[in-house]
C-alpha cells in the first residue's frame, strides 16, 4: 500500500520536473500555448470530476468559468482594480460563492434534475453577459485585459512565463483536489454518491457536502476562468457556454471518471488532439463524439483503464490457451 | 426518551399514518408490528425525518425533532436501519463502518484534509471501533469484502453495524429479519437481545410476529395507519383486534 | 388592443405553443419511459427542418412529400438512437444522458458539414396565403401549424388512452417496477417513445422551418424551451406538458409587450427552479409515498 503510494508520488514528481524542464528549455510559442490550454482544461476537468464524485453530474461548469473570466475582465478593465492577483482570487471566490448560493437549492434535486439546472444556469450566465453591455461588452465581449502583474521579479510576457504560471496553478489545484479526495470528505462524497439517504441516516448532512463539492468545483472553474482571461486578454460570452461544458464532461468521461488521473488524461489528450490533427479541424467535434461513444461502450473505466485492459487481454491470451477446453 | 404525539401523515387524500401516540423509556425494547401496508415504515420515516409529518409531534430526549432533517436526528442519537439492503455497495464492509464512524469524530474539514495528528489518531480509533463492530454483528471475517458482493444476510447485518457505529441512544430497526434464513434470524435475535441487555433502547419493526414476540417486552400494533393495540406480548396475543388484523395474512405471521 | 390584434396575439401564442408542445411531448415521453432527458432533442427538430429543406428546395421534391420524408427520418433516427445507443444504458441514466450530449455534437456538425453554416430557407406551397376572419388577416402557415399540432396532441392522447402500448406507457411512467413485473416490454415502449417523440420533433421542425432561416445550432433554444415546459408540466405528465406548452407559448408572445426577452428568460429560469424545488411534480402534481 505504502509502496504504491510512494511510487505514485515519485512518478508525479518526475512528471512535474519534466514539465518544468520542458518549459525552461523549449521556446516554441505555439507548443507552450497548447501546453497552457492543456493545463487549464486539466484543472477544469478535475474540478468537474470532484462534483461528480458526490454523485452529481454537473453541466453548470461552463457557467462558473464564464463567471470567473468576466469577474477578472471587468475588475481589471472597467473597475480599475490594480492587482491582477487579487482579481484572480476574486474570480475564484466569486464563482465559489455563486456555487453555494445556487447549490443550496440545486443540490436538493437528484439525478438528471440536478443536471438540468446546470443547463439553465449556463444559459442564464451567458444571457446575462450578453445583455449587460455597459459592463460586459455584450456579444463582443471584453478585450485588453491586462496580463498578470510581475511577481518575485517574474514578468508575464513570454509564453514561457505563462507556461510556468500555469504549472503552478495546476499543481496547486490538483494537490488541493487530491487532498480533499483522499480525506474523509472525499470518502463522504463517494458514500453520498452510492446511497444518499443512507448517508443521511448515519448522520451525514448530505446537503452541506453536496454544496461543498459544487462550490469547490466552482472555485477552481472560476480560478481557471480568471487565469484564462488574463492569459489571452479577451473573453466573449460563449467561450465557456453550453458546448464547452459538454466538452469538459467529455474530458472526464473519456479519461475515466473513477480515477483521479482520468480527467487529466482525458483533458490532455483531447486538447492536444485537435492541434496535432489540424487537417481534421472541422471534423473534430464529430471525432470527439465518436471517441466519447467508443469509450462509453467499450471502456467504461475510461482511457486510464486501457493499460490494465491490455495487460488483462495479454494474460488471457498467453495463459488460457492451453486449458481452453470449453 | 421518545415521545410521539398524534403523529399523522396524509398522502393526497390517503391517511397513511393517523394520529399515532407512542412513548419509549430508556432501556426498553419495543416492537412495532402490523400487517403489510399498515404504515410501519411510513411511521419510521416520519420519526427519522425522511418524511415530514402532516401533523403531530416527535420529541426525543426532551428536544422537539418533528420535521427535522434525518442527519440531525441521527446526530442526536436516534439512528435507524433500513428494510432494503442499504449499504455503500462500492466500499468494503470495513469502509462502510468507518464512514459511519465519522459522525462523532469531532474533526473539522481542515484537520481532515491536512491529516493532522489529531485526525490520524481519531481515524485510528474509528478504524478499531469499526473492526469491533464488525465482530459484534458477526461478519468480522468479511472486513475487506466489497459490501455489494456480500450475501443478503450479511448485508443486513452490515446495515445494523452502520447504525451501531453512529453511537445510537435509540436504535430503530426496520424489519431486520426480512429475507433471512432461519440461522440468520436466530443470530439477529440474539444480537438484538444482546444490544438491549447492554443498555441500548430499541424500537423494532417486525413483520414476523413470532420472532418479535420472542424478544420484545412491549408492543405497538398498527393497522391501516392507526394504533389498534398496545401492551405486553400476552395482551397483544389475546387482543381480538390484532387477531382480526392478522387473520388475512395469517400465513405471513406464522 | 382591438379585437383584431387580440386575435393576432392569440394566434401567435397558439403557434408558439403548438411548436413547443410537439417538441416537449417527445421529451416527456422519453423522460417518463427511459428516465433521461434526451439532450439532443433540439437537434432532431433541427434535422426535421433540414430534411424538408433538402428534399423540397435542393431536390425540388413536392413539399408535402418532403415533409413526410422528414417526419419518417426523424422517427427512424429516434429508433436507431434508442436501440443502439440508449438501450444498453438503461440501468445507467447518467451515462445515457452523456451520450445524448454527444449526439448534439454529432448532429450539429454532420449538418454543418453537409449543409454548411449559411442560413437556409424553404417555402411552403401555401406561403403568404391569408385567411380572413372577422376582419383580421391570419397567416395560413400559422393556422396550419396550430391545426397540425393540436390534432397530433389529440391523437397522442387517444393513443395513450386506448391503445395497448399507450396504456402500457402510462403504466410504466407511473410505476416502473410494477409495470416491468406485469410483463410489459420496456424495450418496445422505449423504442416507441423515441420514435414518436423524435417524429413529433421532426414535425415541429418541418412545419416551423418555413418561418425562419435554418441554422445547425437552431436546436439549442428549442431544447431549453422544451425542458422548461416539461418542468412546468411535472416531468413526465402529458397533460401537464400541454398546459406547460400553452403557458410558455403565450408568454412568448406577451412578454415583449412588457419586458425584454432577457428579463423574461431570467424570470422563466427562476420560476422553473422554484417549481423544481417546491413542486417537483409540476404545477398539477402532488406528493406520493
Answer whether B213's CB lies under 8 Å from B193's CB. no
- Given CB atoms, is A109 within the 8 Å cutoff of chain C? yes
The domain limits of chain B are 2-88+153-253
Q: Chain A to chain B, count of Cβ pairs less than 8 Å apart?
A: 89
Which residues of B are less than 8 Å from A184 in CB distance?
99, 102, 105, 107, 112, 123
Please tell me what DSSP assigns to residue C163: S
Q: Does B224 reach chain A within 8 Å, measured CB to CB?
A: no
Dist CA B103 CA C90 (whole Å): 35
Q: Among B27-31, B69-73, B93-97, C174-178, whose mean pLDDT is lowest? A: C174-178
Best C35, C42, C109 residue to mutate vs chain A (most A CBs within 10 Å): C109
Read off the C-alpha cell for B42.
411510513
Per-residue confidence (pLDDT) for residue A103, from 0 to 100: 92
Higher per-residue pLDDT: C54 or C270? C54
| Total CB pairs under 8 A between chain A and C | 100
- Cβ–Cβ below 8 Å for A203 and B103: yes
pLDDT at B155 over 80: yes
Q: A184 to chain C nearest CA, in Å?
A: 25
Which of A2-11, C112-121, C175-184, C257-266 is the least confident region? C175-184
CA neighbor of B192 nearest in space, from B222, B221, B217 = B217
Instruction: Answer yes or no: is pLDDT of B152 > 60.
Output: yes
Count of alpha carbons within 13 Å of C260, Cβ hemisphere only? Answer: 8
Please name the residue of chain A whose CA is at the shortest distance from the CA of residue B115. A183
Chain B CA closest to residue C289: B11
* B170 against C169, higher pLDDT: B170
Residue with cell 434470524: B185
Among residues of chain A, what percentage have pLDDT more than 90? 53
For residue range C90-103, list pLDDT tens digits in order: 888 888 988 999 99
Q: What is the pLDDT of residue A320?
A: 57
Residue A230, pLDDT above cutoff 90: yes
Q: Using pLDDT thresholds of 50, 70 and 90, give the confidence band for residue B35.
A: confident
pLDDT at C287 over 60: no
pLDDT higher than threshold 60 for residue A185: yes
Whether residue A55 lies within 8 A of chain B, CB to CB, comes out as: no
**Cβ contact C260–A293 (<8 Å):** no
Cell triple for residue B166? 453512529
Measured between CA atoms, the residue of chain B closest to residue C288 is B11
- Compute the Cα dihedral for C15, C18, C20, C22 and give only its sign: negative
Coil/strand/helix, residue A142: strand
Cβ of B71 within 8 Å of Cβ of A185? The answer is no
Q: Which chains have at least 3 CB atom pairs separated by less than 8 Å from chain A?
A: B, C
Integer Cα distance of C284 and B26 in angstroms: 45
The answer to whether C125 contacts chain A (CB < 8 Å) is no
Per-residue pLDDT tens over the stretch A4-32:
778 888 888 898 999 889 888 888 889 99
Q: What residues in B contact C174, CB-CB < 8 Å?
A: none
C-chain CB neighbours of A124 within 8 Å are: 265-266, 269
CA C50/CA C40 separation, integer angstroms: 15
Instruction: Compute CA distances B212 → A22, A312, B196, B218, whole Å.
Output: 71, 51, 14, 10
Q: From the CA of A153, how many Å to the nearest CA of chain C?
A: 45
Which chains have at least 3 CB atom pairs separated by less than 8 Å from chain B?
A, C
Count of Cβ atoms closer than 10 Å to residue A239 Cβ: 18
pLDDT of residue A325: 44
Residue A320 exposure: Cα atoms within 13 Å on the Cβ side = 9
- Distance from C-alpha of C252 to C-alpha of C244, rounded to nearest angstrom: 12
User: Looking at the partner chain, which of B86, B115, B165 has a beta carbon nearest the beta carbon of A195?
Assistant: B86
Please indicate if any CB of chain C lies within 8 Å of the CB of B48: no
Nearest CA-CA distance, residue B146 and chain C, Å: 21
DSSP reduced 3-state for C137: strand
Cβ atoms of C57 and C209 within 8 Å: the answer is no
Long-range contacts of the stretch C121-129 (C-beta < 8 A, 24+):
C121/C53, C121/C210, C121/C212, C121/C213, C121/C214, C122/C52, C122/C53, C122/C56, C122/C57, C122/C63, C122/C209, C122/C210, C122/C214, C123/C56, C123/C57, C123/C63, C123/C210, C124/C63, C124/C210, C125/C63, C125/C64, C127/C210
Mean pLDDT score of chain B = 88
B 127-186 → A contacts, CB under 8 A: 162-163, 165-166
Q: Is the pLDDT of residue C255 over 80?
A: no
Q: What is the 3-state secondary structure (H, E, C) of chain B?
A: CEEEEEEEEEECCEEEEEEEEEEECCCCEEEEECCCCCCHHHHHHHHCCCCCCCEEEEEECCEECCCCCHHHHHHHCEEECCCCCCCCCCCEHHHHHHHHHHHHCCCCHHHHHHCCHHHHHHHHHHHHHHHHHHHHCCCHHHCCCEHHHCCHHHHHHHHHHHHHHCCCCEEEEECCCCCCCHHHHHHHHHHHHHHHHCCCEEEEEECCHHHHHHHCCEEEEEECCEEEEEECHHHHHCCHHHHHHHHCCHHHHC
Among A249-253, C42-46, C48-52, C174-178, where is mean pLDDT lowest?
C174-178
C251 confidence band (pLDDT: 50, 70, 90): confident
Q: B45: which chain A residues are within 8 Å (Cβ-Cβ)?
A: none
A89 at the B interface (CB within 8 A)? Answer: no
pLDDT tens-digit series, residues B159-217: 999 999 999 999 999 988 888 888 889 999 999 999 999 999 999 998 888 888 888 88
ipTM: 0.89
Q: What residues contact B166, with CB distance under 8 A and at least 6 apart?
A: A202, A203, B74, B79, B100, B103, B104
Q: How far from B7 is each of B54, B58, B64, B67, C182, CA to CA, in Å? A: 8, 8, 13, 11, 36
- Show which of residues 197-236 on chain C sit within 8 Å of chain A, judged by CB atoms: 220, 224, 227, 231, 235
Q: Say whether residue A242 is in contact with chain C using an 8 A CB cutoff.
A: yes
CB contact C101 to A (< 8 Å): yes
What phi and psi, each to the nearest 5 degrees, are found at residue C237?
-100, 125
pLDDT of residue A98: 96
User: Which of C19, C219, C208 lies closest to C124, judged by CA?
Assistant: C208
pLDDT band at B74 (very low <50, low <70, confident <90, very high): very high
Range of the domain at C89: 3-278
Place of cell 396550430: C146
Question: CA-nearest residue of chain A to C234?
Answer: A113
Rounded to an integer, what distance in angstroms lies between the CA atom of residue C205 and that of residue C196? 14
Average pLDDT over residues B32-47: 87
Q: Which residue of A has its CA nearest to B84?
A: A198
What pLDDT is attached to residue C6? Answer: 75
Q: What does residue B15 show for φ and ψ, rounded to 5 degrees?
A: -95, 105
Kindly determine whether residue B16 and residue C289, on different chains, have CB atoms separated by under 8 Å: yes
Instruction: Decide if A144 touches B, using CB distance below 8 A.
Output: no
Distances (CA, A) of A318 to A309, A314, A322, A326: 14, 6, 8, 16
Q: Which residues of C touch A139 (CB under 8 A)?
A: none
Helix H or strand E encompassing A267: helix A261-276
List of chain C residues whose C-beta atoms are within 8 Å of the C-beta of residue A115: 37, 94, 97
CA nearest to C67, candidates C144, C179, C180, C153: C144
pLDDT-derived band of residue C123, with 50, 70 and 90 as boundaries? confident
Task: Write down the pLDDT at residue B115.
Answer: 81
Cα separation, A267 vs A281, whole angstroms: 17
Query: How, if at all, do strands B170-174 and B201-206 pair?
Result: parallel
Has residue A313 got a pLDDT over 90? Answer: no
Q: Which CATH number does the domain housing residue C221 bear?
A: 1.10.3470
Q: Which of A92-96, B136-140, C263-267 has the lowest mean pLDDT?
A: C263-267
Q: Where residue B251 falls among pLDDT bands split at 50, 70, 90?
A: very low
C119–A contact, CB cutoff 8 A: no
Residues from chain C that touch A128, judged by Cβ atoms under 8 A, are: 262, 266
Q: Which of A275, A236, A254, A223 is nearest to A40 (CA)?
A: A223
Chain A segment 173-192 residues within 8 A of B by beta carbon are: 179-180, 183-185, 187-188, 190-191
Please check whether residue C117 touches A, CB under 8 A: no
CB contact under 8 A, A243 and C104: yes
Domain B2-88+153-253 matching CATH 3.40.50.1370: the answer reads no
pLDDT tens digit sequence for B132-145:
999 999 999 999 99
Amino acid at each position: 500500500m505504502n509502496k504504491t503510494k510512494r511510487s505514485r508520488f515519485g512518478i508525479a514528481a518526475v512528471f512535474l520536473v519534466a514539465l518544468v524542464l520542458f518549459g525552461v528549455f523549449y521556446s516554441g510559442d505555439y507548443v507552450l500555448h497548447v501546453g497552457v490550454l492543456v493545463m487549464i482544461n486539466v484543472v477544469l476537468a478535475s474540478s468537474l470530476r470532484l462534483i461528480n464524485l458526490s454523485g452529481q453530474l454537473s453541466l453548470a461548469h461552463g457557467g462558473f468559468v464564464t463567471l470567473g473570466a468576466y469577474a477578472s475582465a471587468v475588475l481589471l478593465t472597467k473597475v480599475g482594480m490594480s492587482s491582477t492577483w487579487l482579481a484572480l482570487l476574486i474570480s475564484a471566490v466569486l464563482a465559489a460563492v455563486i456555487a453555494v448560493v445556487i447549490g443550496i437549492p440545486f443540490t436538493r434535486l437528484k439525478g438528471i434534475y440536478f443536471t438540468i439546472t446546470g443547463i439553465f444556469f449556463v444559459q442564464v450566465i451567458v444571457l446575462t453577459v450578453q445583455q449587460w453591455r455597459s459592463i460586459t461588452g455584450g456579444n463582443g465581449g471584453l478585450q485588453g485585459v491586462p496580463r498578470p502583474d510581475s511577481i518575485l521579479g517574474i514578468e508575464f510576457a513570454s509564453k514561457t512565463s505563462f507556461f510556468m504560471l500555469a504549472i503552478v496553478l495546476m499543481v496547486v489545484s490538483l494537490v488541493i483536489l487530491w487532498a480533499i479526495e483522499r480525506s474523509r470528505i472525499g470518502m463522504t462524497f463517494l458514500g453520498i454518491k452510492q446511497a444518499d439517504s443512507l448517508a443521511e441516516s448515519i448522520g451525514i448532512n448530505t446537503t452541506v457536502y453536496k454544496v461543498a463539492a459544487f462550490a469547490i468545483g466552482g472555485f477552481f472553474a472560476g480560478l481557471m476562468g480568471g487565469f484564462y482571461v488574463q492569459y489571452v486578454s479577451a473573453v466573449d460570452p460563449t467561450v465557456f457556454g453550453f458546448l464547452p461544458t459538454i466538452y469538459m464532461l467529455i474530458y472526464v468521461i473519456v479519461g475515466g471518471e473513477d480515477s483521479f488521473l482520468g480527467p487529466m488524461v482525458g483533458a490532455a489528450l483531447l486538447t492536444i488532439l485537435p492541434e496535432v490533427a489540424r487537417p481534421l479541424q472541422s471534423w473534430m467535434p464529430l471525432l470527439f463524439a465518436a471517441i466519447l461513444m467508443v469509450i462509453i461502450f467499450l471502456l467504461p473505466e475510461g482511457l486510464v483503464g486501457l493499460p490494465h485492459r491490455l495487460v488483462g487481454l495479454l494474460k488471457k491470451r498467453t495463459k488460457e490457451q492451453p486449458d481452453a477446453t470449453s | 426518551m421518545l415521545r410521539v404525539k398524534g403523529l399523522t401523515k396524509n398522502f393526497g387524500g390517503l391517511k397513511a399514518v393517523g394520529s399515532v401516540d407512542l412513548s419509549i423509556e430508556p432501556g426498553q425494547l419495543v416492537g412495532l408490528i402490523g400487517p403489510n401496508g399498515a404504515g410501519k415504515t411510513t411511521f419510521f420515516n416520519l420519526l427519522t425525518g425522511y418524511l415530514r409529518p402532516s401533523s403531530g409531534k416527535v420529541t426525543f430526549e426532551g428536544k422537539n425533532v418533528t420535521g427535522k432533517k434525518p442527519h440531525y436526528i441521527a446526530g442526536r442519537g436516534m439512528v435507524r436501519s433500513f428494510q432494503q439492503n442499504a449499504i455503500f455497495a462500492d466500499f468494503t464492509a470495513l469502509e462502510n463502518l468507518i464512514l459511519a464512524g465519522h459522525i462523532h469524530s469531532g474533526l473539522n474539514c481542515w484537520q481532515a484534509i491536512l491529516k493532522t495528528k489529531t485526525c490520524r489518531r481519531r481515524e485510528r480509533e474509528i478504524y478499531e471501533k469499526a473492526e469491533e463492530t464488525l465482530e459484534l454483528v458477526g461478519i468480522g471475517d468479511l472486513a475487506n469484502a466489497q459490501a455489494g458482493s456480500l450475501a443478503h444476510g450479511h448485508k443486513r447485518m452490515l446495515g445494523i453495524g452502520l447504525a451501531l457505529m453512529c453511537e445510537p441512544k435509540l436504535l430503530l430497526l426496520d424489519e431486520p429479519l426480512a429475507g433471512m434464513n432461519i440461522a440468520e434470524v436466530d443470530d439477529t435475535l440474539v444480537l438484538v437481545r444482546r444490544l438491549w441487555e447492554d443498555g441500548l433502547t430499541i424500537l423494532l419493526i417486525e413483520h414476523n410476529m413470532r420472532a418479535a414476540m420472542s424478544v420484545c417486552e412491549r408492543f405497538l400494533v398498527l393497522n391501516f395507519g392507526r394504533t389498534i393495540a398496545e401492551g405486553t406480548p400476552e395482551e397483544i396475543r389475546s387482543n381480538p383486534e390484532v387477531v382480526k388484523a392478522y387473520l388475512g395474512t395469517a400465513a405471513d405471521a406464522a | 388592443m382591438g379585437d383584431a390584434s387580440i386575435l393576432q396575439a392569440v394566434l401567435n401564442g397558439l403557434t408558439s405553443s403548438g411548436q413547443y408542445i410537439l417538441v416537449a411531448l417527445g421529451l416527456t415521453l422519453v423522460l417518463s419511459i427511459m428516465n433521461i432527458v434526451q439532450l439532443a432533442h433540439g437537434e432532431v427538430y433541427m434535422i426535421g427542418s433540414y430534411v424538408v429543406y433538402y428534399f423540397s428546395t435542393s431536390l425540388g421534391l413536392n413539399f408535402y412529400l418532403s415533409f413526410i420524408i422528414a417526419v419518417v427520418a426523424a422517427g427512424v433516427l429516434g429508433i436507431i438512437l434508442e436501440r443502439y445507443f440508449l438501450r444498453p444504458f438503461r440501468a445507467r441514466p447518467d451515462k445515457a444522458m452523456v451520450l445524448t450530449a454527444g449526439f448534439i455534437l454529432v448532429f450539429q456538425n454532420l449538418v454543418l458539414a453537409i449543409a454548411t453554416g449559411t442560413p437556409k430557407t424553404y417555402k411552403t406551397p401555401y406561403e403568404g396565403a391569408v385567411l380572413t376572419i372577422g376582419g383580421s388577416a391570419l397567416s395560413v402557415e400559422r393556422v396550419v401549424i396550430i391545426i397540425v399540432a393540436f390534432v397530433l396532441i389529440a391523437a397522442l392522447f387517444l393513443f395513450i388512452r386506448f391503445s395497448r402500448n399507450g396504456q402500457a406507457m402510462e403504466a410504466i411512467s407511473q410505476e416502473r417496477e410494477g409495470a416491468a413485473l406485469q410483463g410489459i416490454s420496456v424495450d418496445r415502449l422505449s423504442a416507441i417513445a423515441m420514435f414518436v417523440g423524435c417524429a413529433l420533433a421532426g414535425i415541429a421542425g418541418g412545419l416551423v422551418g418555413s418561418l425562419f432561416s435554418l441554422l445547425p445550432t437552431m436546436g439549442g433554444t428549442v431544447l431549453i424551451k422544451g425542458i422548461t415546459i416539461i418542468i412546468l408540466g411535472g416531468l413526465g405528465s402529458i397533460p401537464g406538458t400541454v398546459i406547460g406548452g400553452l403557458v410558455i407559448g403565450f408568454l412568448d408572445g406577451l412578454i415583449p409587450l412588457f419586458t425584454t426577452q432577457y428579463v423574461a428568460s431570467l424570470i422563466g429560469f427562476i420560476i422553473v427552479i422554484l417549481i423544481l424545488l417546491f413542486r417537483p411534480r409540476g404545477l398539477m402534481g402532488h406528493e406520493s409515498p
